[in-house]
Amino acid sequence: MRKITAQLFISLDGVVEAPDQWHFPYFDDEMGAAVDATLGKADTLLLGRRTYDSFAGAWPEREAAGGEDAPFAKVLGDARKIVVTRQRPEFGWRNSERLDGDLVEAVTALKNGPGSGPIAMSGSVSVVRQLLAAGLLDELHLMVHPIAVRKGERLFQEAETPVPLRLISSETFRSGVLNLRYAPAESPGPAGYEEARTHLPQPGE
């Protein structure tokens, strides 16, 4: 079964909207390497429509320009790009296609289908939420920036059901950004202060 990994830029207060407005001052070689390790190593990209339009509006031109980011732009261009959208657009960026059918059913088939390479996601917050809820997202990589944006859409909306996660690894960049990698986890179960107090320091310890 193929693995799906989502990578998101996120602020201290949980904002994931419009990272181009606040995250670039923190982008350095460490973050670039982390982005390449997720997106650059995937042979398939699963993207929401808005994220796809943003990528398609920038990366083909960067590849054609031949600048420093052209090699990474080529990697993205060569990857298979599957777009989650209700519309039937005509894609101008090569290797792009629409995800047909129900999201959960189609992504389940994609995970179980041919290919051994990873499937990567960037942005596409609403799709990430749905795949987490359906148990189809294998890893969630959050690059937590040391800034409170204080406005904009947040990763997790208010709901009655919590989303338990398990920390796989953590890394601190020189910029102060935390690169946190999570996987879905089972609920830790009910507990209260009576259970927690047994872990408090005791007198004389």
24-51 tens-digit pLDDT: 999 999 999 999 999 999 999 999 999 9
Minimum mean pLDDT range among 58-62, 93-97, 110-114, 119-123: 110-114
User: Average pLDDT for residues 158-168, to the nearest whole number?
Assistant: 92
The answer to whether the CB of 177 falls within 8 A of the CB of 43 is no
The pairing of beta strand 139-145 with beta strand 178-184: antiparallel
- Residue 205: band (very low, low, confident or very high) from pLDDT cuts 50, 70, 90: low
Whether the per-residue pLDDT at 194 is higher than 70: the answer is yes
CA 81, 2, 131, 12 torsion-angle sign: negative
pLDDT of amino acid 188: 85
pLDDT of amino acid 26: 98
Mean pLDDT for the chain? 94
- Tokens for 150, please give them: 């204080």
pLDDT of amino acid 116: 74
The answer to whether the CB of 51 falls within 8 A of the CB of 8 is no
Among 8, 29, 45, which Cα is nearest to 153's? 8
- Residue 94: band (very low, low, confident or very high) from pLDDT cuts 50, 70, 90: very high
Q: Residues near 79 by Cβ (< 8 Å), separated by ≥ 6?
A: 42, 43, 44, 45, 95
- Tokens for 117, please give them: 């390479």
Q: State the alpha helices, DSSP H only, in 69-168.
A: 70-78, 103-112, 125-133
Among 4, 50, 9, which Cα is nearest to 175's? 9
User: Average pLDDT for residues 128-138, to the nearest whole number?
Assistant: 96
pLDDT of amino acid 203: 80
Burial class of residue 2, CB neighbours in 10 A (0-12, 13-18, 19+): middle
Q: State the alpha helices, DSSP H only, in 7-98.
A: 29-35, 49-56, 59-65, 70-78
Residues β-bridged to residue 15:
154
Look up the pTM and report it: 0.93
Minimum mean pLDDT range among 15-24, 58-67, 154-163, 173-182: 154-163
User: Average pLDDT for residues 85-101, to the nearest whole number?
Assistant: 93
User: Average pLDDT for residues 178-205, to the nearest whole number?
Assistant: 88
Among 10, 5, 4, 39, which Cα is nearest to 23's? 10
The answer to whether the CB of 172 falls within 8 A of the CB of 47 is no
Residues β-bridged to residue 81:
45, 96
pLDDT of amino acid 48: 95
Q: Looking at the domain that runs over 4-199, which CATH code has it been given?
A: 3.40.430.10
